[in-house]
Amino acid sequence: MLRREVAGTVGLLTDEHDFRAMRHYRTFAFADFASYLTAVEDLLRRRASQGTHTTVALFDPQEYADFCTDTGLDPDSPASRSRFTAELATMGTTLPYDGQPLADLTSALVDEAVRQATRGYASTLLARLGACTCCGEDIGRTAFARSSDLLARILDTARPGHRHIVCSVSAAPETLVAVLHADTDPDGTGQLDEAEALEFTTILALGLATRSPGGLVMRTTAPGARDRVYGWRLRKGDLEPLTAGEVFDAYCTDARSGDLVSPESDVDYCVPPSLGPDATPSTHRH
C-alpha cells in the first residue's frame, strides 16, 4: 500500500543526440532511441495504473557528466543516474505525468526548459545592470515593477475572452520571446499562468531597462465577435502604439521571405486602447 504513496521521478532523454551520448555508458543498455521511448512510456503508464504520481525530468547528459565529476560518482552506474534524477526533481525542469502521450509530454518539457532558460538569462542580465549612477535606484528592480504595471494595464484594457500576447526583445546574442495566454471567466475574473506571466514580465522589463528594440502584439478572441489584433513598439524604454496599418503589415508579411500573406478572415487589425498615464515612467533617461 505504501508504494502508492511514494512519488517518483523519471529522467527523460528528449532527442537522439542525448540518447547517443548516454550510449557510451555500458550500463545504459538501450539499443535504439525508439525502444527507449517505448520503455519509458510503458513505465509511466504502469505507474499511473497503480495510482502512483510520477514527475518527468529533462535529463541532460552533459549536466549528468558534470554532476558525476563534482560528486565523485561513477557515471557508468544506474545508482548515479538515479541520484542525478533525484537532484533534477528539485532543481531541474520537470512536469507531472497525467497520462498524456509521451510525444506531447516531451514537447511540453522542452518548451518549459526553454522558458526557464530564457527567464533565467533575462533575470541575470537585469541583475547585472545594478544601480543607477545618478539616482541610486536598482535599474532592474525598477524596470520589473514598471513591466508588471504595464502588463496589468494591457490586460485590464483588453476585452474579455481569450488573450494571446507575444513580447519580443532584441537582446544580444539573440532575440528573446515570451508568450502569455490570459483568459477571463464569465464573471470577469482573469486567469493566467504564473510561470508565463513571470517570464513575460521579466523579458519586457529587460527591454525597458536596456532600451532595446522590440514589440508587443495582443490578439483577443471572444465568442460571436471578430478577433482583434493590436500592439506596441518597444522603443527607447517606452511602449509606442502601432497604427492599424503597421499591425496589418506585420501580420500579413512573411517574416522569412518578406512576401505578402493573405490577411485572415474575421480579424480586425486595430489601434491599441489607451493604457492611461504611465504610473511608473522610465526614470533613467539620464
* Statement: residue 283 has pLDDT above 70: no
Where residue 250 falls among pLDDT bands split at 50, 70, 90?
Answer: confident
* Statement: residue 103 has pLDDT above 90: yes
All cell numbers assigned to 194: 504564473
Q: Which residue has the higher pLDDT, 107 or 190?
A: 107
> Residue 30 corresponds to which amino acid?
F
Where residue 5 falls among pLDDT bands split at 50, 70, 90?
Answer: confident
Q: pLDDT > 70: what percent of the chain? A: 94
| Lowest mean per-residue pLDDT among 23-27, 31-35, 49-53, 276-280 | 276-280
- What is the per-residue burial (b if ≥16 Cβ within 10 Å, else e) of 67-102? bbeeeebebeeeebbeebbebbeeebbbbebeeeeb
Give the per-residue SS3 of the chain: CHHHHCCEEEEECCCHHHHHHHCCCCCCCCCCHHHHHHHHHHHHHHHHHCCCCEEEEECCHHHHHHHHHHHCCCCCCHHHHHHHHHHHHHHCCEEECCCCCHHHHHHHHHHHHHHHHHHHHHHHHHHHCCECCCCCCEHHHHHHHHHHHHHHHHHHHCCCCEEEEEEEEEECCEEEEEEEEEEECCCCCEEECHHHHHHHHHHHHHHHHHCCCEEEEEEEECCCCCEEEEEEEEECCEEEECCHHHHHHHHCECCCCCCECCCCCCEEECCCCCCCCCCCCCCCCC
Where residue 11 falls among pLDDT bands split at 50, 70, 90?
Answer: very high
* Statement: residue 188 has pLDDT above 70: no
**What's the mean pLDDT when you consider all of the chain?**
89
Q: What does the pLDDT look like over 149-160, one tens digit per residue?
A: 999 999 999 988
Specify the pLDDT at position 77: 96
* Statement: residue 67 has pLDDT above 70: yes
Where residue 255 falls among pLDDT bands split at 50, 70, 90?
Answer: low
Residues 212-226, mean pLDDT to the nearest whole number: 92
Specify the pLDDT at position 101: 94
Residues 32-59, mean pLDDT to the nearest whole number: 94
Where residue 257 falls among pLDDT bands split at 50, 70, 90?
Answer: low
Specify the pLDDT at position 45: 95
